[in-house]
Amino acid sequence: MRISRRVRFESTQLVAPHQLSVMARLEDRALTPRELAGIECVSPPSMTRTVSGLVERGLVARQDDPLDGRQVFLSLTAFGLLTLKETRRKRDAWMASRLRGISAEEREVLVRATEILTRLASE
Amino acid sequence: MRISRRVRFESTQLVAPHQLSVMARLEDRALTPRELAGIECVSPPSMTRTVSGLVERGLVARQDDPLDGRQVFLSLTAFGLLTLKETRRKRDAWMASRLRGISAEEREVLVRATEILTRLASE
DNA sequence: AGGAATAGTTAGCATAGTTAATGAGTTAGG
DNA sequence: CCTAACTCATTAACTATGCTAACTATTCCT
């Protein structure tokens, strides 16, 4: 929890972490709110609010599904893509400054740990 | 973020994670709200609320500092200690079930990664 | 003795999560 | 073919946890 809070604090303030996570999901392809909610382990209403914030700020666009009137497709706008990249750059700059202080061998440990945890979380 | 949410979800619901973290700090020795706020990277008012919740539930006790009337010492009650241990037991049972699925070598990677991240977060 | 600093709290606000209920759209069965 | 049941997204109302600013009480310092 402490590490998570610390990272949150240090990360850029441009876009909140959970918003950034959603934007990253939309980088590859458009998704529906329900799909996003499932991926992010959040209820659909939560995702609605998160997405609404992004839409208001012009980072994400809603598009009706022509085949299924109930559904909505969400995708990054050009501005959203730019912001995603910029936010990543800033966040990575902070992280890189921390990682410079540790050895290559320690970095490798973190890479492997991330793989293991990602696998455990997805099971 | 996703992993953090997942752990939160799977953890026992007896005590919220940030409350548990505070209780664990008090296991060794009594601390003041301010000290706890510093350790947990949280503002003093936030810590007041967290602690108040624990006091209301009989898990933590407030004691006036006889030497400095401004200060308060916080310590675990007997019930608090019991709850801490029980909550840990449940949480560890879930975590253990996940860790059973990975190799001893992978567990070692996680141990080392934790050490590295703890060091980075404390700098 | 009196002003500055410190500790804890209170009050008010923001964010992000939840469940329950609503409305629109789709699908399937009689 | 039309109605009943389901699905999707959203809204409403509530909870939890963080923050800053302001307040009270105490201590420290000159």
pLDDT digits (tens, 9 = 90+) for B6-63: 444 444 457 888 999 999 999 999 999 999 999 999 999 999 999 999 999 999 999 9
CATH hierarchy code of domain A2-122: 1.10.10.10
Residue A115: its pLDDT value, please?
Answer: 93
DSSP classification of residue B31: B
> Nearest to residue A117, comparing CAs of B3, B94, B119, B41?
B3
Domain residue ranges of chain B, discontinuous segments joined by +: 2-122
CA gap B34, A21 in Å, rounded: 33
Q: Cβ contacts (< 8 Å) between A1 and chain B: which residues? A: 4, 17-18, 21
Residue A43 — very low, low, confident or very high, per pLDDT cuts 50/70/90? Answer: very high
Q: What is the mean pLDDT of residues A91-115?
A: 88
Distance A23 CA to C23 C1' (A): 28
Phi, psi of B62 (to 5 degrees): -95, 140
Helices A104-122 and B104-122 cross at an angle (nearest 10°) of 110
Q: Which chain A residue's Cα is nearest to B110?
A: A113
Q: Identify the bridge partners of residue A64 per DSSP, sorted by sequence position.
A: A72
Q: Does residue A100 belong to the interface with chain B, where contact is any CB pair within 8 Å?
A: no
Is residue A74 helix, strand or coil? strand
Instruction: Work out if B53's Cβ lies within 7 angstroms of strand D.
Output: yes
Q: Is the pLDDT of residue B108 over 70?
A: yes
